[in-house]
Structures are given as C-alpha cells and as structure tokens.
Amino acid sequence: MVDTTPRLRLRQARGALLACFLVQGASFAVLVTRIPALQRQYGLSDGALTVLLAVVPIVAGAGSVSAETLARRFGLRHVLRWVQPVVCLSLIAVGAGSTLAELAVSLLVFGLCLGAVDATANMQGVALQQAYGRSIMLGFHAAFSLGGIAGASLAWAGAHWNHSLMALFAATACVTVPTALTASRWYADKPPVEGSAEEEPGARFPWKPLLPLCAVMAIAFIADSTVANWSAKYLEDVLHSSEQVATVPYNAYLVATLAGRSVGDLAVRRWGPAAVVRSGAVLSALGLAVTATANGAWLGVAGFTVLGLGLCAIVPQTFAAAGRIRPEKSDAAVARLNIFNYVGVLLGSPLVGAIGDAWSYRAALVVPMLLVLAILCLGRPFGVVQSTRLPLRA
C-alpha cells in the first residue's frame, strides 16, 4: 500500500504558500496605490515622500539579507509564519499615525518585514519546487499578482467611498492576518543538511554563478517599476489620455502577469526555463517598443499589457534558477538574489524620470527596452534543470 501522507503534506504546503503570496500581494498593493492619500494625511512634501519611499526598499533589502540567517537559526516556516502578520499589522500603524516620525517608524517596520517575507516565501517556493521535481514557481507569483489586483481594487473602493487610511488598512488586516496565520499551519521546512552546523552557508555560497541572475532580477524590476511609476503619467502627458484612461495600464499589466503566470509553469515544463525566459525578454521589449512609438492611448495600454505578459515568467524563473546552483543551499541564493529586486526598484523610477525630464518619456522607455533585451545574453543559468527531488518536512 502506497503511503500518500508525504504527497498530501506537499499539496497542503503548496496551498499554504499560495495563500502567503496572495496576502503579500494584497498588502503591498493596498499601500502603494494609496501613496497620494498618505502624502496628504501626513502633509509631506514631494521631497520628503521621495526619501521615505526610497528608504523602504533599502530596508527591505536588509530584511532579505537577515532572512537567511533567521531561517537557518529558527527554521524557514517559523520565520515566515510570524513575520508576515507583522507586515499586515504594520499597515494599520501606517494609517493611524499623524507625525512624520510615526510614519517613518511604521514604514521601516513594514519594509524590513516585507523584505524578510519576500525572501522566505521565495525560499519556500524554491524548496517546494525541488520537492515536486517540476516547475511550480509561477503559480506562487500568479497568486501574488491576484493579491495585487485585489489590494488595488480594495484601495480604489476605499478612495471612492472616502474611507480613511486607518479604516482601509485595518479592514485589510482583518482579512490578511487570519489568512496568513491559518495558512502558516501547513508551511513546510527543509531538513537540516548534514554538516551544516559546522559551515557558514551564507559565507561559503559562491557569488560568481549568481551574478547573471542578479542582473536579470534588477532588470526585470526596472521594467516593472517603469509601469508602476510612469505608465499613468506617460498616457496623460505624452499620449494625451484622460485621467480615467491613465489608470488602466497598470491594472492591465497586473491582469497580464496573472494570466501569464497562471499557465507559465506548463510552458516551462514543455519548453524549458531558458526558452520561456528568452521569449519573455523579447515579448517585454516588444511591449515597450509598442508603447514608446504609440500614437494613441489605447495602443500605449496594449504595449504595457504585452510587457506584463513578457515579464511575468522572468522573476519566478530567476528565483528557481538560483535555487538550482547549489540546491542544498538554495536559501542563501534566494536571500541574496532578492536584494536585487529592491535594487531594480531603486534604479528604475529615477532612471526613467531623469531621462524623461531631460529628453522625452518616449526615449526614456527605450532604456528598459534595451535592458530587457540584454537578458538574452544572460540566459545560460536558466538552462540547467535540477531534476533531483529534495525532501521537505511538515
């Protein structure tokens, strides 16, 4: 008689992590889509807001670095279980404050824990994929996209009905905290590797094979931040759209990433990760080219939508490729790689904005277009597939 308990535990861990990514996407989106309201509530100047928003990804990078050490000491699932609710609850503090100091502390906590959850959730996803022996990473990131759509929709409803940020963020936490805690009962953990107590996994992990993947990760988030931060302005100022139409590109982009990630694992299993990533890079460049040369608002929206379809597989497959370098030390690889998520965010928006101000926003879109094409030259790490299944424990 076949023991089905390990398979059941794997399915439970997979479902739990899908819920984790869903909560993370919703928590992030509900905050970033209400930044203008946050600025009004705290009376921030544009300069002060820019500094605060730049500090968040820097702190998140520190959270990502610390995640590997914490996971090694306390266990991956325990770190993820208790840090994610702090992300959700810190939103309430962000909405409840009234002074710059209160906002700064709240955003620092949010950023630090956000980085730790991003890292540990992807560590867990890579470990589950290794246990399954086939591509499942895109499904987790599809859940993040779905959570982002839900969070953005909730933020729109809060703005439409004039709810305070405190009410909006508290209502969000009332859903996300119980969801995260309930799901965390089924997180899995990697068993300790023999001899790991004597080693320093982070210090001994090789940087050299990780560097091309770090470049790919940064490029992907430069392109992503271009849509998040500049798509509305581009449609209004360059393509002369209405304010309502200018809100469409980012939502269309999120829907496209959700659609692509929902079927992306099947594509990876059929054609391999390298082919999927290279195709995504070409499609992303095509989307940016369409937008940069568009002569109307809806053609610009179409370009940003194609960009979402192109980028959707690149980030999940970059994490998966990092985990294949040394599978027994995949946590160290994912924690380091996740830092370049925030590097891309920090570089992307100022880069496009500076070129747009100095020259034109059409020319500014050419920069991320050329960068995503550079991924075609960085595809070798995606071509090595680890077929060995590594065990997990519940």
Region of residue 268 (phi > 0: left; psi between -120 and 50: alpha; otherwise: beta): alpha
Angle separating helix axes 5-32 and 76-96, nearest 10 degrees: 20
For residue range 22-69, list pLDDT tens digits in order. Answer: 999 999 989 988 888 888 899 988 788 878 888 899 999 999 989 988
Q: For 88-92, 171-175, 199-203, which range has the lowest pLDDT when averaged over its residues?
A: 199-203
A 10 A CB-CB count for 343 gives 18
Fold classification of 1-191 (topology level): Growth Hormone; Chain: A; (1.20.1250)
- Span 118-127, mean pLDDT? 95
CA gap 91, 56 in Å, rounded: 13
Q: In this predicted structure, what is the pLDDT of residue 393?
A: 59
- Span 156-184, mean pLDDT? 93
- Span 328-338, mean pLDDT? 89
For residue range 62-113, list pLDDT tens digits in order. Answer: 999 899 889 888 989 999 999 999 999 999 999 999 999 999 999 999 999 9
Same topology for domains 1-191 and 204-384, yes or no?
yes
For the cut 80, the answer to whether the pLDDT of residue 197 exceeds it is: no
Domain range summary for the chain, segments of one domain joined by +: 1-191, 204-384
Cβ-proximal residues to 309 (8 Å cutoff; 6+ apart), any chain: 256, 257, 259, 260, 280, 283, 287
CA separation (Å) from 115 to 87, 258, 342? 10, 22, 9
**Could you tell me how many helices (H) and strands (E) the chain has, helices first?**
15, 0
End-to-end CA distance of the chain: 22
Mean pLDDT value across the chain:
89
Higher pLDDT, 381 or 266: 266
A 10 A CB-CB count for 227 gives 27
Cβ-proximal residues to 283 (8 Å cutoff; 6+ apart), any chain: 306, 307, 309, 310
Class of domain 204-384: mainly alpha
Higher pLDDT, 6 or 144: 144
Type of residue at 18: L
β-pair partners for 393: 189
CA gap 13, 126 in Å, rounded: 12
